[in-house]
Amino acid sequence: MNMKTALVELADIHAAVSALQRDAEHGKISTAEARERISDSKKAVTPRELWKASGGRAGANKRSDWPDIRKTAFGAVFLVVLAAVGVWIVTIYTGKAVGSEEDYIREPTASVPAEPAPEEPDGG
């Protein structure tokens, strides 16, 4: 199930160009901006690119490749979770296979004898 990216139709490009020319004639945008937007609109391939190039006058705001982006993001999250679970499992079973509690370094239990208290002189 391979979804293709939607392509812009020639009629949409013509609608964008005429809308930009109309806005330039009415003074809503400058002629330089209209010229640049018309050029960008003619170069647009997807409806989203046409929408951005025409300033929202034609095309579609929604991305046509959103399902592909969603699948890629979910795949990346799945791989990260799978790696984390794998590391956790390897760590648990390696710890069980390597040794027991006797192998761990323990704190010393031997007590250090205290220094004897100095003797008080007999003065009394």
Angle between helices 31-43 and 10-25 (to 10 degrees): 180
Q: How confident is the model at residue 35 (pLDDT cuts 50, 70, 90)?
A: very high
* Token pair for 100: 């027991």
* Token pair for 38: 């018309």
Residue 124 has pLDDT above 60, yes or no: no
Query: Cα–Cα distance between 38 and 101 in angstroms, integer?
Result: 75
This model's pTM is above 0.85: no
Percent of the chain at pLDDT above 70? 84
Query: Cα–Cα distance between 48 and 40 in angstroms, integer?
Result: 12
pLDDT in tens, 79-98: 999 999 999 999 888 877 77
Q: What is the pLDDT of residue 65?
A: 72
